[in-house]
Structure 1
């Protein structure tokens, strides 16, 4: 059975984006960027909601060709292109860059994918992750908490019907004050 992880940069007050989807506060340090890049390299399948897919696919396919692209950005772009992806959306009609489109029941498809053999899966996008969270499908949560209060926006966590008990498995503090925490779900 595959492991499913939900991980994102998050503000101290719990948001992954501000109103209007401003992500400027969450630009990672070089050290954190490398941590995320290594995570992409180890991901067997990434599950994206439409909005996060549109953000990622509008930049990373050509990021390595941008003037002044840092070696770490070139490496991330290569890793991102190589990583298999499933994009969950009922409003877009096609995806590219080693991705396939899923238009049906997201929870049923994630359940099916988890039952397959293969490498670990990461899930991204607030709406998609919320559906998986409510269905009890997430095995691990990774929060890269930035020392900033944004006051509102898209929350990392959704409203739940039941408690989810977690076990802390890792903490790490980055030089810019970002604190990474990893929690596993206790089933």
Structure 2
């Protein structure tokens, strides 16, 4: 069975995007950017919600070809293109590159993918993650918490019907007071 990991940058008050989908508060340090890049290099399959997919796919497919691109950004772009991806959306009809579109039941497809053989799958997008959380499919939570309160927006955690007990497996501090915490679900 594959491991399903949900990880994103979030504000201290628990939002992945401020009102208006503002992400200006979450610009990573070079060290944190490298950590995310290394994570992409080890992810066997990334599962994207539509909104995050649209943002990522508008930039990373050609980011390494832009004038003055930083070497770390070029490396990330290559890794991101190489990583197999699945996008879950009922509102778009086409995806490009190393990507497959799923328009049907996200929970059923994630359950099917998780039951297969292979390495870890990263879940990217709060709305998609909310469905997986409620279905009890997430094995690990990666919170990269920025020292900022944004007061509203898109929440990292969904409302749940019951508790989810977690075990802390890693903490790390990055420049600027950003703190990484990783938790595994206790079953």
Instruction: Give me the TM-score of the superposition, normalised by structure 2.
Output: 0.99
Aligned to 1:2: 2
What is the aligned-residue RMSD (CA, Å)? 0.5
TM-superposed deviation, 1:66: 1.3
Aligned to 2:12: 12
Any idea what SS the aligned residue of 1:48 has? Answer: strand
Shift of 1:119: 1.2
CA deviation profile, 1:52-109 (whole Å, cap 9, x unmatched): 0000000000111111110000000000000000000001001012000001100000
**Structure 2 counterpart of 1:137:** 137
Whole-Å Cα distance in 2 between the matches of residues 171 and 140 of structure 1? 13
Q: Report the Cα distance in structure 1 between the residues aligned to 2:116 and 2:140, rounded to whole angstroms.
A: 18
Q: Distance in 2 between matches of 1:67 and 1:37?
A: 20
Equivalent residue for 1:99?
A: 99
Is 1:112 matched with 2:105?
no
Distance in 2 between residues matched to 1:134 and 1:45, nearest whole Å: 21
Partners of 1:22 and 1:73 in 2: CA distance: 21
Partners of 1:46 and 1:175 lie apart in 2 by 26
Q: 2:73, 2:43 → 1: CA distance?
A: 17
Runs of 4+ in 1 over 3 A off after TM superposition: none
Unmatched segments (≥5 aa) in structure 1 = none
> C-alpha separation between the residues in 2 aligned to 1:175 and 1:28?
9
Q: Which residue of 2 aligns with 1:161?
A: 161
Do residues 33 (structure 1) and 33 (structure 2) align? yes
Could you state the TM-score of these two structures normalised by the residue count of structure 1? 0.99
Once residues 178 and 104 of structure 2 are traced to their aligned partners in structure 1, the CA distance between those partners, rounded to angstroms, is 37
